[in-house]
Chains A and B, each alone.
Chain A
Amino acid sequence: MLLSLEPRGQQSRAMLLLSPLLAGALTLISGALLFAALGNPPLETLYTLLIMPISDMYGVTELAIKALPILLCALGLALAFRARIWNIGAEGQLLVGALAGSAVAIQLIDVESRWALVLVFAAGVAAGTAWAGLAAWLRTRFNANEILTTIMLNYIALNLLQYFIYGPLKDPAGYGFPQSAMFGDASRLPILFEGTRLHVGVFFALLALVAIWVLVQRSFFGFQVKVLGLDRRAARFVGFREKRLVWLALMVSGALAGLAGVCEVSGPIGQLIPQVSPGYGYAAITVAFLGRLNPVGILFASLLMALLYLGGEMAQMTLNLPLALTGLFQGMLLFFLLACDVLILYRLRVKLPWQRQFVATPVAKGA
């Protein structure tokens, strides 16, 4: 063996921060190699992917719009993941949030009071919470693995959404297109700056960021969640209520994903369409890990992920590359991150063949 891993004994704080950067660099290098192999000039393609989308102010506001649902979902996931509750269901929770919000908004198209928006949001958040609560119930009551139940609930939510779009919620005046009617103005999120699509939803995201930060870093609830994730036996030993923590972590998670969903339909989209989410809920998993389950880290990671989404669209338009580029980069990033994370607990040692003998000989002779 030329390379070997040696335990450090303690976590390396430097690697904790460096590993995501290293993973990012490796992803870029692999991406460049991939582009070169496909016959696209690597640097130019990377430029199109990562710089061009945010080269003007409008691009930056678009970045914020894209980052918003990812950030919201990832913040919730981080809380659940800290408790080692593997909620893979942000996507489904987001979809039912969007669906429920839309269902209410369509009833309120002609209402002009701002209360309409409140009702729409209440419905969306409640639906997301309930959808996650379902997984919590299955887990705490029946001991059903939450990874599998949340995934299944994602597929169910997607089919439910499609059923409603093709059925009860289809716009009768929509020439048969699978989409709902446009929401009334009262059910739309106000735009922040004229000429952009940036809406007040970003404040919800910032509020959620601060709230989750306090919850995770300062509150006793956050501490209990952390202990539950690290060591279930110790948590039980001192009387932390596992079931209650599972319920709360999942419901907060679901509420934020539901909020993300309803923000999408009443924000930039303005109606319910089958493609509400291009996989935001799945991207949030990568983001949560990339941000180290830390709210501030997640903020940066969600901006990066949003950039990948915008870049993917840009690359499709200008270079005719498949839109799936985004997903590919996401997967690579997460994989490299997990590999690099080894360096947090281990030191990489390059052992040259002659070094071993060098250590062994003198002592053996001395004995």
Chain B
Amino acid sequence: MPDISSPPPRLELRGITKRYPGCLANDRIDLSVARGEIRALLGENGAGKSTLMKIIFGAAAADAGELRWEGQPVTVRDPSQARELGIGMVFQHFSLFETLTVAENVALALGPAAGDPRQLVPRIREVSKRYGMALDPERRVHALSVGERQRVEIVRCLMQDIKLLILDEPTSVLTPPEVDELFVTLRKLAAEGVSILFISHKLGEVRALCHSATVLRAGRVTGHCDPREQSDLALAQLMVGDAEGLEARYPKRSGDKVFLDLSQLSWRNPDPFATSLHDIDLTVRAGEIVGIAGVAGNGQDELMALLSGEECLPLQAARIITLGGQAVANLPPDARRRLGLAMVPAERLGHAAVPSLSLADNALLSGFQQGLVRHGMIQRGKVSAFARRIIERFEVKTPDMHTSARSLSGGNLQKFILGREILQNPKLLIAAHPTWGVDVGAAAAIHRALIELRDAGAAILVISEDLDELFQISDRIGALCGGRLSPLKATAKTQTSEVGRWMTGQFDTAANAADAAPTSTTY
């Protein structure tokens, strides 16, 4: 029973349960946040954090349980009701409208009573100044950086009488210095009495910011604690059950002959709002893993597309990318694959795999050059055998190979896709965010498979936002920022702080030095 004399917590959840077809996303969850408290909600991807937040914000309805707001039981039917209570949410994938201005975005969120967007401009300026978040209310959102967009979301919440601010993985899109700025703002808000729910899986940040933490695992609360008093290992164990594989150390290698060579790759993106690439030099040797860090949107997708052949350069620029000495920059994906390239793109569904097709068909998708097609006809027997080998070798949990790709869990599908690429015996494997949204067990398996492939002599390039992962598995490391690549260093000879600086663009290359005059031809 709560103490009668102390004020009731701002938000209290009791026994919140939410079931989706085939999974129990939230199982009798209890949680409370006091006035001015910064509480972390810790958990792996898929632990049920986002579902719980949606329930609090009225974007989803709980099947059972009770929600108390300042001591009173309430039902939050939709987001506008949540907003009236004083709940604001900053989404992981921003809920902004790119074609509208900052002020128009704010006006839409505040409802008809807020009045004309133009009338809001001075207030937006005032709020953003007060909390140290520089913003121009009259700019259109598509012209803003990722960090600025997050500020729009936060300012949008602060424009109303806010009592509880929910942030869903807010740091995943920020560089380390931007994270520090965000934390200053959040502490200031908490000091003014705003309660904050901070969703994350990054232990270091939680310890730096939060007063308390609630840990979720597989839809259940596994503990409440003060993160400042817990070790990483103890927190990790609450999050994942057993922490095997988390601490794995792999020996570093220096690699053999250069297999992938990019020299002075510059590419102008036809989409004016997306990143162009500038003077990228990169080599990957057989038998080494090269890691590329960076916040999403700094040219990773573009680099992947140019490496895979989804974007081609003209014939006269063919030598800008070579595979085993052969010029490939003008070749389409299938031709590059014949030379030993394999790719694992960032998006599993809708890029690496077709969601509604079976695993067997998805095996055929990129494996069609492995003797699975003869005289234009699909060799069904061989396709099945190939799919079966992937499923067995990589321990993909699935009823059978006729199951559609979309019905597999993230980790299992990722193992399948990686297995599909590895079983084509690549000389070069390029993987983007290989363990994003994957549970710890699958992530460890994926890391082991990559190391094994490296030790078998393949060249590997990993692009990831997760610095810890890159330090764990890569032999050399660099970072992308604004379409430029930092110099690469042996992982053993650098630290996260240095790579963190590279991620903000603080590095010296020929390209950065000669900013005004590009040193190579742009395609």
- Please say whether the chains A and B touch (CB closer than 8 A): yes
Once the chains bind, are A223 and B364 in contact (CB under 8 Å)?
yes
Once the chains bind, are A237 and B310 in contact (CB under 8 Å)?
yes
A227 interface hit (Cβ, 8 Å): yes
How far apart sit A236 and B310, CA to CA, in the bound complex (Å)?
Answer: 6
Q: Which residues from 332 to 367 on chain A have a C-beta closer than 8 Å to any C-beta of chain B?
A: 359-360, 363-364, 366-367
A238 interface hit (Cβ, 8 Å): yes
A43 interface hit (Cβ, 8 Å): no
In the bound complex, residues from chain B placing their C-beta under 8 Å from that of A7 are: 21
B103 interface hit (Cβ, 8 Å): no
Closest to A215 in B: B376
Once the chains bind, are A237 and B357 in contact (CB under 8 Å)?
no
A166 interface hit (Cβ, 8 Å): no
Closest to A7 in B: B21
Partner of A238 from the list B14, B15, B63, B365 (CB cut-off 8 Å) is: B365
In the bound complex, residues from chain A placing their C-beta under 8 Å from that of B17 are: 363
In the bound complex, residues from chain A placing their C-beta under 8 Å from that of B378 are: 218-220, 223
Once the chains bind, are A9 and B65 in contact (CB under 8 Å)?
no
B136 interface hit (Cβ, 8 Å): no
Q: Which residues from 1 to 46 on chain A have a C-beta closer than 8 Å to any C-beta of chain B?
A: 6-11
A230-B376 in contact given A6-B21, A363-B17, A364-B64 (Cβ < 8 Å): no
A200 interface hit (Cβ, 8 Å): no
A114 interface hit (Cβ, 8 Å): no
In the bound complex, residues from chain B placing their C-beta under 8 Å from that of A195 are: none
B300 interface hit (Cβ, 8 Å): no
A231 interface hit (Cβ, 8 Å): yes
Once the chains bind, are B15 and A366 in contact (CB under 8 Å)?
yes
Interface centre among B22, B345, B355, B368 (most CB of A within 10 A): B368
Once the chains bind, are B333 and A223 in contact (CB under 8 Å)?
no
How far apart sit A366 and B334, CA to CA, in the bound complex (Å)?
Answer: 59
How far apart sit A367 and B62, CA to CA, in the bound complex (Å)?
Answer: 14
In the bound complex, residues from chain B placing their C-beta under 8 Å from that of A360 are: 63-64
A237-B352 in contact given A359-B64, A363-B65 (Cβ < 8 Å): yes
How far apart sit A10 and B357, CA to CA, in the bound complex (Å)?
Answer: 11
Once the chains bind, are B407 and A237 in contact (CB under 8 Å)?
no
How far apart sit A226 and B378, CA to CA, in the bound complex (Å)?
Answer: 13
How far apart sit A226 and B352, CA to CA, in the bound complex (Å)?
Answer: 16
A16 to chain B, nearest CB (A): 12
Once the chains bind, are B357 and A227 in contact (CB under 8 Å)?
yes
A12 to chain B, nearest CB (A): 13
The contact string, 1 if C-beta is below 8 Å from chain A, for chain B 356-381, is 11000100111010000100111000
A77 to chain B, nearest CB (A): 21
Once the chains bind, are B376 and A237 in contact (CB under 8 Å)?
no
The contact string, 1 if C-beta is below 8 Å from chain A, for chain B 1-36, is 000000000000011010001100000101000000
In the bound complex, residues from chain A placing their C-beta under 8 Å from that of B336 are: 239
A213 interface hit (Cβ, 8 Å): no
In the bound complex, residues from chain A placing their C-beta under 8 Å from that of B93 are: none
A221-B404 in contact given A233-B351, A359-B64 (Cβ < 8 Å): no
A148 interface hit (Cβ, 8 Å): no
A240 to chain B, nearest CB (A): 8
Once the chains bind, are A239 and B15 in contact (CB under 8 Å)?
no
Once the chains bind, are A364 and B66 in contact (CB under 8 Å)?
yes
Once the chains bind, are B21 and A9 in contact (CB under 8 Å)?
yes
How far apart sit A46 and B359, CA to CA, in the bound complex (Å)?
Answer: 46
Once the chains bind, are A218 and B15 in contact (CB under 8 Å)?
no
Once the chains bind, are B351 and A241 in contact (CB under 8 Å)?
no
A234 interface hit (Cβ, 8 Å): yes
How far apart sit A220 and B334, CA to CA, in the bound complex (Å)?
Answer: 14
Size of the B side of the interface (Cβ < 8 Å), in residues, is 42
How far apart sit A227 and B405, CA to CA, in the bound complex (Å)?
Answer: 13
How far apart sit A233 and B63, CA to CA, in the bound complex (Å)?
Answer: 37
Once the chains bind, are B21 and A367 in contact (CB under 8 Å)?
no
How far apart sit A282 and B242, CA to CA, in the bound complex (Å)?
Answer: 62
Once the chains bind, are A237 and B373 in contact (CB under 8 Å)?
no
How far apart sit A223 and B335, CA to CA, in the bound complex (Å)?
Answer: 19
Once the chains bind, are B345 and A8 in contact (CB under 8 Å)?
no
How far apart sit A124 and B310, CA to CA, in the bound complex (Å)?
Answer: 38
Once the chains bind, are B377 and A234 in contact (CB under 8 Å)?
no
How far apart sit A226 and B358, CA to CA, in the bound complex (Å)?
Answer: 13
B353 interface hit (Cβ, 8 Å): yes
In the bound complex, residues from chain A placing their C-beta under 8 Å from that of B368 are: 220, 238
Once the chains bind, are B354 and A234 in contact (CB under 8 Å)?
yes
How far apart sit A359 and B18, CA to CA, in the bound complex (Å)?
Answer: 12
Partner of B350 from the list A6, A234, A241, A366 (CB cut-off 8 Å) is: A234
A139 to chain B, nearest CB (A): 19
In the bound complex, residues from chain A placing their C-beta under 8 Å from that of B21 are: 6-9
How far apart sit A206 and B51, CA to CA, in the bound complex (Å)?
Answer: 54
A248 to chain B, nearest CB (A): 12
Once the chains bind, are B366 and A367 in contact (CB under 8 Å)?
no
Once the chains bind, are A237 and B351 in contact (CB under 8 Å)?
yes
Q: Which residues from 224 to 275 on chain A have a C-beta closer than 8 Å to any C-beta of chain B?
A: 226-227, 230-231, 233-234, 236-239, 241
Partner of B335 from the list A8, A9, A219, A239 (CB cut-off 8 Å) is: A239
How far apart sit A220 and B347, CA to CA, in the bound complex (Å)?
Answer: 24
Once the chains bind, are B308 and A220 in contact (CB under 8 Å)?
no
B391 interface hit (Cβ, 8 Å): no
Partner of B64 from the list A11, A233, A363 (CB cut-off 8 Å) is: A363
How far apart sit A274 and B308, CA to CA, in the bound complex (Å)?
Answer: 53
Once the chains bind, are B376 and A231 in contact (CB under 8 Å)?
no
B407 to chain A, nearest CB (A): 6
In the bound complex, residues from chain A placing their C-beta under 8 Å from that of B357 are: 226-227, 230
In the bound complex, residues from chain B placing their C-beta under 8 Å from that of A6 are: 21
B134 to chain A, nearest CB (A): 36
B337 interface hit (Cβ, 8 Å): yes
Closest to B380 in A: A218
A293 to chain B, nearest CB (A): 14
Once the chains bind, are B350 and A363 in contact (CB under 8 Å)?
no
A241-B15 in contact given A9-B21, A219-B378, A223-B378 (Cβ < 8 Å): no
B309 interface hit (Cβ, 8 Å): yes
A367-B354 in contact given A9-B22, A236-B310, A359-B63 (Cβ < 8 Å): no
How far apart sit A359 and B15, CA to CA, in the bound complex (Å)?
Answer: 14
Once the chains bind, are A231 and B354 in contact (CB under 8 Å)?
yes
B332 interface hit (Cβ, 8 Å): yes
25 pairs from A and B in contact (CB 8 Å cutoff): A10-B407, A11-B404, A219-B378, A220-B368, A220-B378, A230-B356, A231-B355, A233-B347, A234-B350, A234-B352, A236-B310, A236-B333, A237-B308, A237-B345, A237-B352, A238-B365, A238-B368, A239-B332, A239-B336, A359-B64, A360-B63, A360-B64, A363-B17, A364-B66, A367-B15
Listed from nearest, the 10 A-B pairs whose CB atoms lie closest are A367-B15, A239-B333, A239-B334, A363-B64, A231-B354, A220-B373, A239-B332, A238-B366, A234-B354, A233-B351
Give 12 new A-B contacts, CB below 8 A, not counting A230-B357, A367-B66: A11-B356, A11-B404, A219-B376, A220-B376, A221-B376, A223-B378, A227-B354, A237-B308, A237-B310, A237-B351, A239-B332, A364-B64
